[in-house]
Amino acid sequence: MKKTNRKLFAITLMVFALIGFWACSKDNSTEDDTGDLRAAKGRKILTVSSSSLHFQEGESSQEISITTNIDAWTISNNANWITLSQTSGIAGTTAITVTVSENTDASERSANITISANQFKSQNILVTQANGALYPSYNTNPIPADATGMSSNAVELAAKMKLGWNIGNTLEAIGGENAWGNPNITKEYVTAVKNLGFNAIRLPCAWDQYADQTTAKIDEAWMNRVKEVLQYCVDNDMYVLLNIHWDGGWLENNCTPEKKESVNAKQKAFWEQIATAMRDFDEHIMFASANEPGIENAVEMDVLHSYHQTFVNTVRSTGGRNSYRVLVMQGPSTNIEKSNDLMNMPTDEVEGRMMAEVHFYSPSQFCILLDGDASWGKMFYYWGAGHHSTIEPDRNATWGEEDAVDVSMSIAKAKFIDNGIPVILGEYGAYRRDNSQYVPQDLETHNDAVDYWITYVTKQALANGLIPFWWDTGGSLDRNNFTVKDQRTIDAIIAGGN
């Protein structure tokens, strides 16, 4: 071959080689996952896109893909909380959706998904899901909604309540029902309260001290005791507001973002149990989310709002009459002005079945504080027009008199009542300073001033639509023999109610 021909032949071979390389490169650059299958030629392959999946506690889905040149394969799992979008397939690449249900258990859970094919080693995918709650779910037997005996909405129910009475320092006492000096509540005592002219009871109650601190399970004997007291009231045709009171402060001292998750978990666990146990009571029984939650700003109010929302959702989820029960939300620090500035009501699946709650002990130097509370200034002994002392003028109230009461009550009316949300004045009171340590020099004027405050505040609350519940710990009505110990206080409340 001539030199020229040999050179031409070599160039031709090189061109053909380059064309072949280009064709192969082009084919590989556009190939999808099935390219692996072609590349495998006679080999059998089965690949999975992930060897493990992790889910958060809520219901959710993730996708995996299976690539194989095997004619047929199956996929299965060993847990009823996992659902697969399909359970078998053929050669090629197949996307599988893995869905997990909500984890309501207090611990993380795990399971295996297995991909199998004949004459091929099975492959496993480990599925884990975060724990759904700090405590187990106690909503184990929700029942269909039942409106029997629950015909009144919140506004209609509020109209049925006239004057309310707190059974204080008793069921909420840390250490037991008698720990703060009061005897057990009896049916005779409840009847005595009714006979005085009160048709509603606020029942402060502790729960945490009666609960297992690991599981939040409430002692059955305590639950039955509270239920027994509720029955005393219902038997007397009295309306009852049952709450979770201070209870060691686990909720009301912890309205912070850092405590939000753990407090909501306990709120849910407790109310699942309380609501279920009391579910058969009719509209005479109302539930209250908290007592006096300590709030100073909008951030803390957002946390409290989540506690109230958990309360509402949990009670409703138990079904039966709880689907229609009136529920009561406490304002920030149960302060009227703070509630006006910061509070919004939670959402509810049933319309018109919520109330708000505030408390009133103002001015505090006159109502409840002692001289030992130096940061607040001197105690007031005398309050209101015509009830100041000339004998002891430095003990006359200098703020918080009638005009302040009028303003506070009108604020509550405008914020809530005018918008169809009744208001429980869950606690109020002013108490006589006639013990051996604090004796006003002008005792007659002091007693008249206390009577006047009680009557005035009761009257103004009712005039603005608030339902007043007097705070009593045994000072006005004897818990043992059911006789009146402070007739002037009872008379002043009734006078305000009239």
433's tokens: 């300073």
Across all residues in the chain, what is the average pLDDT? 90
Q: What is the mean pLDDT of residues 115-136?
A: 85
Strand duo 327-330 + 354-360: pairing: parallel
Residue ranges covered by each domain of the chain: 40-129, 143-497
**388, pLDDT greater than 70:** yes
* Under 8 Å between Cβ of 81 and 110: no
**Three state DSSP letters for 139-167:** CCCCEEECCCCCCCCHHHHHHHCCCEEEE
Kindly report which listed range (122-126, 319-323, 375-379) carries the lowest average pLDDT score: 375-379
Q: What is the mean pLDDT of residues 99-103?
A: 91
The model's pLDDT over 16-35, given as tens digits with 9 standing for 90+, comes to: 444 443 333 333 333 344 55
The model's pLDDT over 274-302, given as tens digits with 9 standing for 90+, comes to: 999 999 999 999 999 999 999 999 999 99
Percent of the chain with pLDDT over 70: 90
Report the distance separating Cα 10 and Cα 12, nearest Å: 5
pLDDT of residue 371: 63
Kindly report which listed range (56-65, 236-245, 356-365) carries the lowest average pLDDT score: 56-65
Taking alpha carbons only, the member of 171, 169, 199 closest to residue 472 is: 169
Q: What is the mean pLDDT of residues 121-142?
A: 88
Distance of CA 194 to the CA centre of its chain: 31
81's tokens: 């909380």
Strand duo 239-243 + 200-203: pairing: parallel
* Under 8 Å between Cβ of 311 and 288: no
pLDDT of residue 453: 98
Report the distance separating Cα 100 and Cα 86, nearest Å: 14
> 3-class SS at 313?
helix
Alpha helices in 278-401 (DSSP H): 298-317, 336-342, 364-367
pLDDT of residue 374: 53
Q: Residue 129: which pLDDT band, with cuts at 50, 70 and 90?
A: confident
150's tokens: 């629950």
The better pLDDT of the pair 173, 14 is held by 173
Domain 143-497, CATH class in plain words: alpha beta
Q: What is the mean pLDDT of residues 427-434?
A: 93
pLDDT of residue 3: 45
467's tokens: 């339902």
The model's pLDDT over 34-80, given as tens digits with 9 standing for 90+, comes to: 555 555 556 888 889 999 999 888 889 999 999 998 889 999 998 99
Amino acid in the structure at residue 386: G
Preceding omega of 346 cis (within 30 degrees of 0): no
Kindly report which listed range (376-380, 450-454, 479-483) carries the lowest average pLDDT score: 376-380
Whole-model pTM above 0.85? no
The model's pLDDT over 244-258, given as tens digits with 9 standing for 90+, comes to: 999 999 999 999 999
Report the CATH fold assignment for 40-129.
Immunoglobulin-like (2.60.40)
Provide φ and ψ at 27, rounded to 5°.
-65, -40
Q: What are residue 46's DSSP bridge partners? A: 68
Element (H, E) at 383: none
Q: At what angle do helices 220-235 and 187-196 cross, to 10 degrees?
A: 40
**434, pLDDT greater than 80:** no
Strand duo 319-320 + 143-145: pairing: parallel
Residue 150: exposure state from Cβ atoms within 10 A (0-12, 13-18, ≥19): buried
Provide the strand spans (E) within 43-187.
Answer: 46-48, 52-55, 60-77, 82-84, 88-100, 109-117, 120-129, 143-145, 164-167
Q: What is the mean pLDDT of residues 307-318?
A: 98
